[in-house]
Structure 1
Amino acid sequence: MVRRILILLLLLGAAAAATWALWPKPPEVETARIDRRAIAVTIDEEGKSRIREIFTVSAPIAGQLLRLNLHAGDQVTEGTSVVASIRPVEPDLLDARSRKVAEAAIEAARAGVDLANAQLQQAEAQLTFLEGELGRATKLVAQGTISERAYEKATLDVAVARAEAESARANLMVRRRELERAQAALIEGGSSAQSCCVEVMAPASGEILRVLTESEQVVQAGTALVEIGDSADLEIVAELLSRDAVRISAGAAASVEGWGGKPIEARVSRIDPAAITKVSALGIEEQRVPVVLKLLGEADDRRRLGHDFRVLVRIVAWHGDNLRAVPLALFSARAMAGRCSPSRPAGRGCARSRSASTTPTSPRCSMASTRAIR
């Protein structure tokens, strides 16, 4: 008898355990309180930070750029800091033929100098002789020995000889300069120190953002060297879809997030009037409108935010105060997957759905995602 009772108890326990294990468990539900609060609709888009005014320093002349001693992040002062130094370009190398031509030109120039020197000596000797003749003619004309015409002829000869001497002297100077020019053609690069360099000064105070040309090299006029900007003068630019850009206006509130620090308050300062065509990652052409945001608050709150940093922009397109706020999870597709129980506790919300046709379906709700309404 006792044995049968024990077996019966064991069977009843096993049945109870199986029933408990197979009994459907109630799904976990998420609850939230519905209350009145401020609600805002935002347009979220990726953007980047940029310095409002960037100065690109370029080479003013063509020449040999000396290696820059500046690096990104170095501070510079307007009109005081030397950004770069440019010296004249070294002369080209001469091959054997060009060297022979240059040496022959030097010899010809030297011969021209000797010829001009001889012509000058001849002119000076002629002038000395005629000046002596003029002195004797002056005495003779005073005594009445020679005529006035002979005296005038002697005076004219001296004037002509003096002009010829000056011409010969000028010709000698020309020949000497031609010799110097011919000798300069044989000057090799680095044979003499450059006495002059053009120093390029910083056009504005700030810091070096990028060094575009660092190594020593030959540059042409207009070659970009460095970029200078003030990192404290930042703004944010985001490219919104054109359908989103029409929903906002200048002065709209915004916030900058996702840059690694605390959210920064901002305000829309400018919306470009023209859109640009961009290709998305899926290869779809999109019309996007650049929107510029002005950062608010203290500069110390964003001192680690630099130029061209990626950020997340949230622009307020609409907002309202003292509105009834219902969690979005209540209206999710999952929340509309199950039927509402007619015996649900009072005070609970239920999402009701309709089919694609005009015929209403039975009310549905998901207890797993329905939130309590109190």
Structure 2
Amino acid sequence: MMMRRIILWTVLGLIAAAGIAYAFWPRPVPVDLLTMAKSHFVVSIEEEGETRVRDVFKLSAPVTGRSQRISLEVGDHVEANKTVVTRIEPIDPSILDVRSQVRAVAEVRAAEAARVHAGAELERARVGLKYARIELERSRSLKKNNTISQLTVDKAEENFKTQIAAVKVAEAALKMRDFDLERARAQLISPQEAVSQRQTRQFLPIRSPVSGKILQIFQKSEGVVQAGGALVEIGDPRDLEIEVDLLSSDAVRVEKGQRVEISNWGGVGDLKGVVKRTEPFGYKKVSALGIEEQRVNVIVGLTSKPESWKRLGHGYQLDAKIIVWEGEVLSLPLTALFRKGERWAVFVAENDTAHLRYVEVGQRNGLRAEITSGLKAGEKVVSHPGDRVAEGVRLELRQALSGNGN
């Protein structure tokens, strides 16, 4: 009886020990494995861009005046030095206040009085001329009889010529007073009188300096414009380029000639372009989150056939993807990499066991990184090493992936 109990408890103890050993026995960690293989690796910068006409001409008013209503519409075609965009007329006089009105009336009266004075001076000069002519004729008659000397005759001739000049001076003075009167009366011209004379005014036609299309009209209705005031913008929508504003830290990686992929522009398929230049100055721009950013404009030229983007115009929004580097290399998702001290490392699966491997990382984009050393094609790498994966841990394949992420 005693022996049976001993055997029973011994068996039960063995079973319990086996259960405990089984419970704490190291089990393989299920992981996803990547097989290293060379694939096309692309490093790009993606940002929103905006189309613009390469050469935009802003037509301004050369003089201050009243611009007639612009009959052209945005998108209308214009020809250089032929199409009249608008006409500028002289502006109407302003309404005089009481003080200016009294002053203007007084100036008219003063000008009228000055004219009367100038007329009297002219009449006196004419009388003097008439008397000088009579004296000259008398002196010449007396000289024939040797009654007077030649000196007296000469003085009579001098006086006659002096009186002729005095008449001319008086006539010019009268004309000056006429002009002064006309100028004084002009100050009293009211806006109503100016409107009634508008049909007889001269106007200045404003012609388009270049051929193209109207991109924007700044002042369509009739109104007063100042000299230098913008009227319209003119450009050729067939000569488009794209302006992409990048962070200055990204712009330093962009070079002339780099390939650009253009998407979300509203048409079918993606467009192609090439970097033409990076502008040499930056500017501050406040982001949607209220953060000040230093931005730089990168200019992209379209290389796709014009027929494919003919519906694009000035100021259209799109997405630009600038390819700053690409090549056939070994690469890994960033999730497979982790820092081990100052170096990058991965876990390599060899004989179903995890082994720590240090690697060198080259180019990186937002999802993947180029592996320049430490791994070879065909090796298997843990794609998402968790805290259970460590050196020497047995691994169990959950899903096999290729090194390019497919």
Partner of 1:266, secondary structure, is strand
| Equivalent AA in structure 1 for residue 210 of structure 2 | A
Matched, 1:211 2:242: no
Matched, 1:46 2:67: no
1:93-242 superposed matches below 5 A: 93-189=95-191, 190-193=195-198, 194-242=200-248
Partner of 2:382, secondary structure, is coil
How many pairs are equivalent? 335
Q: Distance in 1 between matches of 2:89 and 2:110?
A: 32
Q: Distance in 1 between matches of 2:184 and 2:393?
A: 106
Q: Distance in 2 between matches of 1:128 and 1:365?
A: 136
Q: Which residues of structure 1 form unaligned runs of 5+? A: 1-29, 333-341
Q: Distance in 1 between matches of 2:206 and 2:226?
A: 14
| Equivalent AA in structure 1 for residue 197 of structure 2 | S
Q: Distance in 2 between matches of 1:52 and 1:106?
A: 57
User: Which of the numbers 267, 270, 276 marks the counterpart of 1:269?
Assistant: 276
Whether contact under 8 Å (2:335, 2:383) holds in the other structure is: no
User: After the TM superposition, which of the residue ranges 358-367 and 77-86 deviates more from structure 2?
Assistant: 358-367
Q: Distance in 1 between matches of 2:66 and 2:236?
A: 29
Q: CA deviation at 1:283?
A: 3.0
Matched, 1:351 2:382: yes
**Deviation per CA, 1:314-368, whole angstroms, max 9, x where unpaired?**
11122224x6798x69969xxxxxxxxx7xxxx9x7735545799437466784x
**What is the aligned partner in structure 2 of residue 79 from structure 1?**
81
Q: Distance in 2 between matches of 1:372 and 1:111?
A: 107
Q: Distance in 2 between matches of 1:157 and 1:353?
A: 123
| Equivalent AA in structure 1 for residue 291 of structure 2 | I
Matched, 1:301 2:332: no
**What is the aligned partner in structure 1 of residue 258 from structure 2?**
252
Q: Distance in 2 between matches of 1:237 and 1:95?
A: 53
Q: CA deviation at 1:276?
A: 3.1
Task: Choose between structure 1 and 2: higher strand proportion.
Answer: 2
What is the TM-score normalised by the length of structure 1? Answer: 0.78
User: After the TM superposition, which of the residue ranges 222-231 and 271-280 deviates more from structure 2?
Assistant: 271-280
Q: Distance in 2 between matches of 1:281 and 1:361?
A: 49
| Equivalent AA in structure 1 for residue 206 of structure 2 | V
Q: CA deviation at 1:37?
A: 5.7
| Equivalent AA in structure 1 for residue 106 of structure 2 | A
Identity rate, percent: 36
Q: CA deviation at 1:148?
A: 1.6
Whether contact under 8 Å (2:336, 2:381) holds in the other structure is: no
User: Which of the numbers 313, 326, 336 marks the counterpart of 2:320?
Assistant: 313
Q: Distance in 2 between matches of 1:363 and 1:119?
A: 128
Q: Distance in 2 between matches of 1:213 and 1:365?
A: 74
Q: CA deviation at 1:159?
A: 1.6
Q: Which residues of structure 2 form unaligned runs of 5+? A: 1-31, 338-351, 353-377
Q: CA deviation at 1:79?
A: 1.1
| Equivalent AA in structure 2 for residue 306 of structure 1 | G
What is the TM-score normalised by the length of structure 2? Answer: 0.72
Q: CA deviation at 1:99?
A: 3.0
Q: Distance in 2 between matches of 1:287 and 1:130?
A: 90
Whether contact under 8 Å (1:250, 1:270) holds in the other structure is: yes
User: After the TM superposition, which of the residue ranges 356-365 and 165-174 deviates more from structure 2?
Assistant: 356-365
Q: Structure 1 residues 357 and 84 mapped into 2: Cα distance closer, same or farther (>3 Å)?
A: farther
**What is the aligned partner in structure 1 of residue 391 from structure 2?**
360
**What is the aligned partner in structure 2 of residue 5 from structure 1?**
none
Q: Distance in 2 between matches of 1:269 and 1:217?
A: 41
Partner of 1:273, secondary structure, is strand
Q: CA deviation at 1:258?
A: 0.7
| Equivalent AA in structure 2 for residue 149 of structure 1 | L
Q: Structure 1 residues 277 and 93 mapped into 2: Cα distance closer, same or farther (>3 Å)?
A: closer
Q: Distance in 2 between matches of 1:265 and 1:92?
A: 58
Partner of 2:103, secondary structure, is helix
| Equivalent AA in structure 2 for residue 249 of structure 1 | E
Q: Distance in 1 between matches of 2:396 and 2:72?
A: 67
Q: Distance in 1 between matches of 2:383 and 2:144?
A: 142
Q: CA deviation at 1:120?
A: 1.4
Q: CA deviation at 1:205?
A: 1.1
